[in-house]
Amino acid sequence: MADVKEIKILQPDDFHHHFRDEPYLEHTVPHAAAAFCRVLVMPNLVPPVTTTAAALAYRERILLRVPANVKKEDFIPLMTLYLTDNTTPEEILTAKQSGHVYAVKLYPAGATTNSDYGVTDYEKIMPALQKMEELGILLLVHGESTDQSVDVFEREQSFYETVMPMILSRCPNLRCVCEHITSAAGASFVEKAGPNVAATITAHHLCHNRNALFKGGINPHYYCLPILKTEPDRQKLLKCAVDNPKFFLGTDSAPHSLDKKECACGCAGCFTAHMSIELVVEAFEAIGRLDALEDFVSKRGAAFYGLPAASGTRVLVREPWKVPENYPFGDKSVRPLRAGETAAWKLRPRL
Ligand SMILES: [Zn+2]
* Å from CA of 224 to ligand 1 middle: 9
Per-residue pLDDT tens for 133-168?
Answer: 999 999 999 999 999 999 999 999 999 999 999 999
Extended strands (E) in 202-257: 247-249
Give the three-class secondary structure for 155: helix
Would 1 be classed as within a structural domain?
no
Domain annotation covers residue 264 = yes
Task: With residue 9 as reference, give the H or E element that holds it.
Answer: strand 6-10
Task: Give pLDDT tens digits for 255-298.
Answer: 999 999 999 999 999 999 999 999 999 999 999 999 999 999 99
pLDDT at residue 2, rounded to an integer: 62
Domains in the chain, number: 1
In the chain, the amino acid numbered 1 is: M
Peptide bond into 226 cis (omega under 30): yes
pLDDT at 110: 78
| Spatial separation of the C-alpha atoms in residues 105 and 271, rounded to whole Å | 20
Ligand 1 centre distance from Cα of residue 254 (Å):
7
pLDDT less than 70: residues of the chain? 1-2
Strands in 197-201's sheet, in edge-to-edge order, are: 14-17, 38-41, 76-82, 101-106, 138-141, 176-178, 197-201, 247-249
Catalytic residue check, 252: yes
Residue 336 lies in a domain: yes
223 lies in some domain: yes
DSSP, collapsed to helix, strand or coil, labels residue 346 as strand
- Does residue 106 fall inside a structural domain? yes
Ligand 1 center from residue 241 Cα (angstroms): 18
Sheet containing 6-10, strands listed edge to edge, beginning at the edge strand earlier in sequence = 6-10, 313-322, 342-347
CB-proximal residues (5 Å) to ion ligand 1: 252
Question: What CATH number corresponds to the domain at position 206?
Answer: 3.20.20.140
Q: Ligand 1 centre and the CA of 42: distance in Å?
A: 7
Q: Which residue range forms the structural domain that includes residue 301?
A: 6-347
- Whether 343 is in a domain gets the answer yes
Residue 200 lies in a domain: yes
Classify the phi-psi angles of 43: left when phi > 0, otherwise alpha if psi is within -120 to 50, otherwise beta.
alpha
- The whole-angstrom distance between residue 342's C-alpha and the CA centroid of its chain comes to 24
* Cα 87 to middle of ligand 1, angstroms: 20
Give CA 218 to chain center in angstroms.
24
How many other C-beta atoms are found inside a 10 Å radius of the C-beta of residue 60? 9
CA neighbours closer than 13 Å in the CB half-sphere of residue 36: 31
Residues 14, 233, 252, 295: which is the catalytic one? Answer: 252
Read off the DSSP letter of residue 299. Answer: I
55 within some domain: yes
